[in-house]
Amino acid sequence: MLYSEKVMDHFTNPRNVGKLDDADGVGEVGNAKCGDIMKIYLKIDGDVITDVKFNTFGCGSAIATSSMATEMIKGKPLSEALELTNKAVVEALDGLPPQKIHCSVLAEEAVKAAIKDYFDNTGKEYDPALFKGGHSCDNCCNG
């Protein structure tokens, strides 16, 4: 089997699928040309993520990593969500095939992009170094 049971579980029954019309922060990473886009919506109260939803266009592991990442940050303070790494998402899913690791990078970046959007929307000060690195997808396919 290509994927672990956990990946298949999150793919088959993805947690937190959907949109939040009154989101405080929205992050979208990836592009359709490369075959995966993740969009994460955050509802934030104080400095806690009270609700999170995602929409993903992509392969099984893209959907599973989105689902797992949203589950890992729901109810958590922003400071903790910002520390979410792709490695932690992969571990929580009991691993991903090597060619699918980039999906987990996308999930980490989508969470960060949504938090940055929240900071920008509310005029909160932040250390730009937290969000450097940019999209991992820029050089991933031809054209």
Partner 1 sequence: MRIYADNAATTKISRKARDAMISVMDEVYGNPSSLHSEGQRAAEVLLKAREDIADCLGCSADEIYFTSGGSESDNTAIVSAVKYAEKRGKRHIVTTAFEHHAVLHAIKKLEAQGYEATYLDVHENGIVRPDEVEKAIREDTALVSVMYANNEIGTIQPISEIGRICNEKKILFHTDAVQAAGHVKLDVGELGVDYLALSAHKFHGPRGIGVLYAKRRATLSPLIEGGAQEKNRRAGTENLPAIAGMAAALKDAVSGIDETACRVSAMRDKLIDGLLKIPHTVLNGDKESRLPGNVNVCFEGIEGESLLLMLDMMGVAASSGSACTSGSLDPSHVLLAIGRPHEIAHGSLRLTIDDENTDEEIEKMTDIIPKVVEKLRDMSPVWDDLQKGRNKYVIQ
Stretch that binds partner 1, among 31-39, 74-82, 83-91, 115-123 (CB under 8 A): 31-39
- SS3 of residue 76 by DSSP: coil
Q: Does the footprint of partner 1 cover residue 36 (CB under 8 A)?
A: yes
Residue that has been written with the tokens 């886009």 in this structure: 37
Is there a catalytic annotation at residue 103?
Answer: yes
Residues 58, 20: Cα–Cα separation, whole Å: 20
Strand, helix or coil at 130? Answer: helix
Instruction: Give the whole-angstrom CA distance, residue 121 versus residue 8.
Output: 36
**Residue 91 beta carbon to partner 1: minimum distance, rounded to whole angstroms:** 22
Which residues are CB-neighbours of 19 under 8 A, at least 6 positions away? 41, 53, 55
Nearest CB to partner 1, comparing residues 17 and 88: 17
Asked if 23 touches partner 1 (CB under 8 A), the answer is no
Q: Is 140 a catalytic residue?
A: no
Q: How many chain residues are in contact with partner 1, going by CB under 8 A?
A: 30
Which sequence positions are flagged as catalytic? 34, 103
Residues that bind partner 1 (CB under 8 A): 8, 11-12, 14, 17-19, 28, 32-39, 54-60, 62-63, 99, 140-143
